[in-house]
Amino acid sequence: MVQTQEIIIAGFGGQGVLSMGQIISYSAMKEGKEVSWMPAYGPEMRGGTANCIVIVSSKKISSPMVTTFDSAIILNQPSLDKFDSKVKPGGLLVCEQSTIITPSTRTDIEILTIPAVEQAVKMGKRQIANMIILGAFLERRPVVSISNVLLALKEVLPERHHHLIPLNEEALQIGQHFAAEHLQTV
């Protein structure tokens, strides 16, 4: 059976939204899956917002642009306002806690709210928040394995950044934990 995940990842520029999507895509490609990564581009990005659509599938992907999503990874309020209603019933919404003022009120989807920035600050590297989120997402939707993500990072990151890989791994795990806990508490 064809397995496809259509994911929107959205937030501000600088939060690592686009690279999060690329990491998923790259890992999935390495796993032999079909992938497409489609950023919002051009003046849409004015005001600092950024988003990308990632599709991972066991079959050829038709359109890289879809308008409803299996999962949404949301890193700011404007993105939540925009994409909340676009998550398919039964889908997954992962939000970064500190950036959300008015949370989603949907009841037909699974909602994960991750204090990723808080955790990242604790870890001493604010920029790692996106990996925490990613970990949480992958816990709930294992479209790629964490170990492949780490392998992917190794290939994608320039040598001089390889020392950061353990930190990334830790962040992914923290995210996974949060997601797993959350599942228990819901």
Partner 1 sequence: MISGTVIIATEICKGCELCIASCPQESLGLSTSINRKGYRYATLLRNNCTGCVNCALVCPDSAITVYREIKSTKRQSQSAQPTVATQTA
Partner 2 sequence: MSTIIQHDENPKLMKGNEALAEASFRAGLKAYFGYPITPQSEILEYLTEQAPNHKDVIVLQAESEVASINMVYGAAGAGVRTMTTSSSPGISLMQEGISYIAAAELPCLIVNVQRGGPGLGTIQPSQGDYFQATKGGGHGDYHLIVLAPSSVQEMADFVFDGFRLAEEYRMPAMILSDGALGQMMEKVYLPKSGSLPKQEVEWATTGKPASRERNYITSLHMDPEKMELVNLHLQDKYRKLKQEVRCELINTNDADIILVAFGLTARICNKAMEAARAKGINVGVIRPITLYPFPYEIIASFADPMRMFLTVEMNAGQMVEDVRLAVNGKSSVYFKGRMGGMIPTPEEILLEIEALTEKQRTMSQSAGYL
Partner 3 sequence: MSTTMNGTMEIVYEKPKTLTDNPTHYCPGCGHGVIHRVLMEVINEMGIAEQTVGVAPVGCSVFAYNYMNIDMQEAAHGRASAVATGVRRVLPDKFVFSYQGDGDLAAIGTGETIHTINRGENILMVFVNNGIYGMTGGQMAPTSLCGMITSTTPYGRDEHFIGHPLKITEMIAQLPGAYYVARHSVHTPAAVRKLKKAFKASFESQKEKKGTCFIEVVSNCPSGWKMNPLEANEWMEKNMFPYFPPGDIKLPATMK
Footprint of partner 1 on this chain (CB under 8 A)? 12, 47, 76-78, 81, 99, 101-102
How far apart, in whole angstroms, are the C-alpha atoms of residue 46 and residue 26?
27
**According to the binding rule CB under 8 A, does residue 69 interact with partner 2?**
no
Concatenated DSSP letters of 17-77 = HHHHHHHHHHHHHHTT-EEEEEE--GGGGGGGEEEEEEEEESS----S--SSEEEEEE-SH
CA atoms of 56 and 75, how far apart (whole Å) = 21
String of contacts with partner 2 for each residue 106-145, x by CB under 8 A: ----------------------------------------
Q: Is 1 in the site for partner 2 (CB under 8 A)?
A: no
DSSP state of 14: T
Q: Is 101 in the site for partner 3 (CB under 8 A)?
A: no
- In the complex with partner 3, which residue's Cβ is closer, 47 or 89? 47
- Find the shortest distance in angstroms from Cβ 95 to partner 1: 13
Interacting residues with partner 3 (CB under 8 A)? 42-43, 45-48
